[in-house]
Chain A
Amino acid sequence: MVGALDEGAERVAAGVSNQPQQQLQMRIAGDTNVGKVRTTNEDSMIVDHQLRLYVVLDGMGGANAGDLASQTARDAIGMFVQHQRLTMEPKQLLEAAIQYGSAAVFNAAQQARERHGMGTTCVACMIIDAKRAVVAHVGDSRAYLLRHGRLQSLTRDHTIVEELVDRGVLAADEAERHPYKNVLSRNLGARPETRVDVLELEIKPGDRIMLCSDGLYGYASNDGMQYLLGSGDPPETVARDLIDLALRGGGGDNVSVIVIEAPQPAPTSTQVVRTSGATAWWQHRKRFLQIAKDRGITKNAICRGLKPDEALDLVASSLCEAIFHDLEKSTGVNVWTFAQNIAGGWFERGGQWQPLRDLMDILAVSARACVDDIRKTDAKLGFLLDVAVSRALVVAELALGGLLAERLRHVDHDLIQIHGAMQETIDGELDRHDTEAPERTSSKFIDQATIPFMRPDRPVTNPGVSAELVTAIEKTLTIARGRTSPRAELVKQILESLETIATDPSGQFASAVIAARELYGVRTVDDAGVTQLFDALDAARIITASSVHQASVPDAMRAKVLRAVSSAHQRLVGAMTGLVLEAVSPYSMRLEEAKVATGELRDKVARTERKRAELERKFASTVDQSLPWERRGTTEW
């Protein structure tokens, strides 16, 4: 569906050329890529300079419904803005346009069964003037703002998990690991209308706004995005580099990016660093290499096996070049990449932290020595470079920290797995030795109040089982057992249980619970154990249903048999699920207890920290301030 547009309006879906916004002096560019895994690009974009409307949409839905959804919404939104822009104020206009898009997608979805459930996310920015913009979104496509070199998210994802975090039900870190973290709570197309979050943004000189689909932030680190956006490169280069970053990170989804820049002349100091600073740094590279060599870089364990010249070239020279390029472009991406590569490679070889720390310290000291040299001849340039190089070293540490944290996550995961597996064995042992567990009694388990699914209030759906019905049920299940493979022992047991439950004259739930306990047995609480059970229950259901049709009984009786056995089946399944839920409940309780204990410890630490901070403040006031900073305490720089 393509709306009629005025001639001259430039509406493109991808790879927009850098069209300067003459009146607003803004530079804007967008790009999109199908990614490395998907075969279709279900993202769509609007980059319309005449309407000053910029939108990223990420479609979803099977069988190519996703790209239809995003394109339908794109066309509807563009058309609405085109036709209504003179009659509505911007915030209202953008919200109404997105609503219109949602209705369009919903209507399109009703037209064919395979389109049911199709939808799209949407993040949009409309520039009002040089100082104001409106940002609106539905779903998990995002808008970011880069200001003062810091990247901040302007939108919060409309996912169920985010909503739970907002309500305080989930912690942010749990949200990151949650299996439902990608389940949307809102999109365009699920219903005719949707809730749109809209905000009005004040634009400051130098700001960069980025709109993107989850294919970007799902595969590119926050720091990487920040560095690229913070570089002085034009928006079309930044958009392309951001996509490359996502592709290098896996590219598992379609990725679309729009970069909007409110330009500002770069501060003098930044220009100085990018030109004279970078040049001065490069002129001192031999000095850098010499200091690194004198400090023993070639003897570091990481350089073992390399000739001294090779070591200098691969390690020290690489950092020198990385710093140079970052100085030139006011970015940190080259130093970041250097640190990641060297540390990543070292860890993969089983390397320890200390050699890496020693190596980075040597490089840092060498860098500072060069900056000190430059400072002796040019104080102003030296100062600017000192700040810039210190910043570069921070970037390197951030990269290392990311890798260390990643390793810590893996070790934690392994620890949890192994601990869990060992604990399962112990729990299993306890289960098997019933007589040793003090809380277990010798009374029948149906008398125990703890079983959650003993619900006498459930209606009996087979009141009174006649002798004729019992016979028909027995006949049917005999046929079913006969058709079951001898190896499918569990299915046979289920069929026997169904017969018991279905022919139970009381029609109560108790027989289902008893049967469920016997079938459940001693089973680990994991996917494999549960899946095996439910596969068998499904197989029993299918065999029973077809056996009913084979039993030589009148049709009316056949329907009664099926009803009785299906009801029994449903009760058995319900009881089985009840047992699973019973088996998992201790885990939640133990977690709550652990959280309480952590909370108490945390409070204790916080109280002690307040006392320590007070003493530290007092101590600070006694320190001899005339000493150079490096000599006051136990600093190393």
Chain B
Amino acid sequence: MSTAPPVARAYDLLRPKILQRLLELRSTLDPSLGRLEESTARAQIGAVLDHLGNFIATGDLGLHRAFLHTFMAMRAAEAQGPAAVLAMLVAIGDTAAQVSQEENPAPEGSELTLLLTRVTASTARAVNDLIAEELERRMAQWSELSTKERKGLPPA
């Protein structure tokens, strides 16, 4: 699949509409977003859309994973579980693709619509890998603590 430079530009042009649609639907992305002031929700969602724009331009999965890792850790610190974070990110990607489809309904395709769909798939895959890594770490922790408990040692 070839991509011409205009794809990244097309995304930038569409970004305000995507953001507006997401703000309207924000309580469906996550109930906590629905409770925030619009300016705060705008900043949070805007940060995700900014990064998506960079990912569309760079195609760099390493940077994408780095962003997702930070995003998930921040949400975990706000007591938001990983499944909810995954659902939110997928919803953002889906909505972006949908807005792109509406704005570029030509059947031959909007490269941007397709790219956004693939980006969403890539995001979901990366998030699951991150969850699996965290799961592995916690299981190792549990294993260590179980051993300490059996030996009557303190936890830390």
Contacts and interface: CB of A to CB of B under 8 A. Distances in A.
**Chains A and B touch each other in the complex, with CB atoms below 8 Å apart:** yes
B66 to A, nearest CB: 7
12 contacts: A150-B25, A394-B94, A397-B127, A398-B86, A401-B128, A415-B138, A422-B148, A422-B149, A623-B58, A625-B5, A634-B60, A634-B61
Interface of B: 1-5, 8, 25, 27-28, 30-32, 35, 47, 50-51, 53-54, 56-63, 66-67, 70, 73-74, 77-83, 86-87, 90-91, 93-95, 97-98, 101, 105, 107-109, 113-115, 117-118, 120-122, 124-125, 127-129, 131-132, 134-136, 138-139, 141-142, 145-146, 148-149, 154-155
B107 A397 contact: no
A609 B68 CA distance: 11
A272 to B, nearest CB: 8
Chain B interface mostly: helix
A269 B101 CA distance: 10
A411 B117 contact: no
A380 B107 CA distance: 6
A426 B108 CA distance: 68
B83 to A, nearest CB: 4
B136 A633 contact: no
Contacts of B70: 605, 609, 612
A632 interface: yes
Interface stretch (A4-12, A89-97, A167-175, A532-540): A167-175
Contacts of A567: none
A432 B36 CA distance: 48
- 5 closest A-B pairs by CB: A633-B60, A173-B79, A405-B83, A397-B124, A632-B59
A394 B149 contact: no
Given A426-B154, A605-B70, A616-B63, A411 B138 contact: yes
A22 to B, nearest CB: 30
A101 B128 CA distance: 48
B1 A633 contact: no
A397 B32 contact: no
A interface majority secondary structure: helix
A152 interface: yes
Nearest to A360: B125
A108 to B, nearest CB: 35
Interface stretch (A33-41, A129-137, A382-390): A382-390
A635 B59 contact: yes
A442 interface: no
A459 interface: no
Contact of B114 (A149, A222, A387, A426): A387
B1 A394 contact: no
B59 A405 contact: no
A379 B74 contact: no
A400 B113 contact: no
B32 to A, nearest CB: 5
B3 A629 contact: yes
A630 B25 contact: no
Contact of A628 (B1, B82, B107, B132): B1
Contacts of B97: 387
Contact of A635 (B87, B122, B146): B122
